Amino acid sequence: MQDRIHNFNAGPAALPLPVLEEIRDSFLNFAGSGMSITEVSHRSKWFDDVINDAIERTKRLLKLDDQYHILFLQGGASMQFCMAPLNFLSDGRSADYINTGTWSTKAIKEAKIQKKPIKVVASSEDKNFCYIPKNISFNKDAAYVHLTSNNTIKGTQFESLPDTGTVPMIIDMSSDFMSRPVDMSKIGMIYAGAQKNIGPAGVCMVIIRQDLLDLVPDNIPSMLSYATFANTNSMYNTPPCFAIYTIQLVMKWLEETIGGLEKMDARNREKADLLYNFIDASGFYRATAEPGSRSLMNVTFRLPDETLEKTFVAKAIENKMGGLKGHRSVGGCRASIYNATGIDAVKDLVSFMTQFEKTSG
Q: What is the average pLDDT across 113-118?
A: 96
Q: Has residue 76 been placed in a domain?
A: yes
Whether 15 contacts 203, CB under 8 Å: no
Residues 188-199: what's their mean pLDDT? 98
Model pTM?
0.97
Number of domains in the chain: 2
Stretch 159-167: mean pLDDT, rounded? 97
Residue 97 has pLDDT above 60, yes or no: yes
pLDDT band for 163, please (50, 70, 90 cuts): very high
Residue 279 has a pLDDT of 98
User: For 184-208, what is the HEC assignment?
Assistant: HHHEEEEEEECCCCCCCCCCEEEEE
Q: Is residue 250 domain-shared with residue 297, that is, in the same domain?
A: no
| Domain edge (last residue) among 211, 233, 258 | 258
Q: Confidence band (pLDDT; 50, 70, 90) for 145?
A: very high
Q: Tell me which residue of 51, 118, 68, 125 sits closest to 89, measured CA to CA.
A: 118
Among 281, 144, 154, smallest CA distance to 216 is for 144
160 with 299, same domain: the answer is no
Same domain, 112 and 204: yes
In the set 46, 172, 176, 271, the catalytic residue is: 172
Residues 268 and 250 in one domain: no
Residue 34 forms part of a structural domain? yes
pLDDT digits (tens, 9 = 90+) for 18-62: 999 999 999 999 999 999 999 999 999 999 999 999 999 999 999
Q: What is the CATH number of the domain that holds 53?
A: 3.40.640.10
DSSP 32: G
**Considering Cα of 269, then 193, then 68, then 87, what sign does the dihedral take?**
positive
Active site residue 196: yes
* pLDDT in the model for residue 3: 86
Q: Residue 87 sits in which domain range?
A: 18-258
Predicted confidence (pLDDT) at residue 1 exceeds the cutoff of 60: no
CB 42 within 8 A of CB 235: yes
CATH code for the domain of 304: 3.90.1150.10
| pLDDT tens readout for residues 258-305 | 999 999 999 999 999 999 999 999 999 999 999 999 999 999 999 999
Residues 111 and 200 in one domain: yes
Cα–Cα separations (whole angstroms), residue 241 to 18, 78, 157: 19, 20, 31
pLDDT band for 359, please (50, 70, 90 cuts): very high
Residues 41 and 77 in one domain: yes
- Domain membership of residue 3 (yes or no) is no
Mean pLDDT of all residues belonging to the chain: 97
Query: Is there a catalytic annotation at residue 103?
Result: yes
Query: Which of 103, 116, 154, 271 is labelled catalytic?
Result: 103
Residues 341 and 253 in one domain: no
Residues 88-110 have a mean pLDDT of 96
- Report yes or no: 310 and 238 within 8 Å, Cβ to Cβ: no
pLDDT confidence of residue 361: 77
Share of the chain above pLDDT 70, in %: 99
**Whole-number Å distance between alpha carbons of 278 and 270:** 12
Please give the Cα distance from 122 to 137 (Å, whole number).
8
Nearest one of 13, 49, 110, 64 to 206, comparing CA atoms: 64
Average pLDDT for residues 223-249, to the nearest whole number? 98
Nearest to 237 by CA among 245, 225, 249: 225
130 and 253 housed in the same domain: yes
Listed residues 196, 230, 258: the one ending a domain: 258
Active site residue 46: no
Q: Is 29 a domain residue?
A: yes
Q: Flag whether pLDDT at 92 surpasses 90.
A: no
pLDDT level of residue 91 (50, 70, 90 thresholds): confident
Mean pLDDT over 181-201 rounds to 97
Catalytic residue among 96, 116, 176, 196: 196
Confidence tier at 165 by pLDDT (50, 70, 90): very high
Instruction: Calculate mean pLDDT across residues 164-191.
Output: 97
> Is there a single domain that holds both residue 48 and residue 175?
yes
Q: Evaluate whether residue 11 is within a structural domain.
A: no
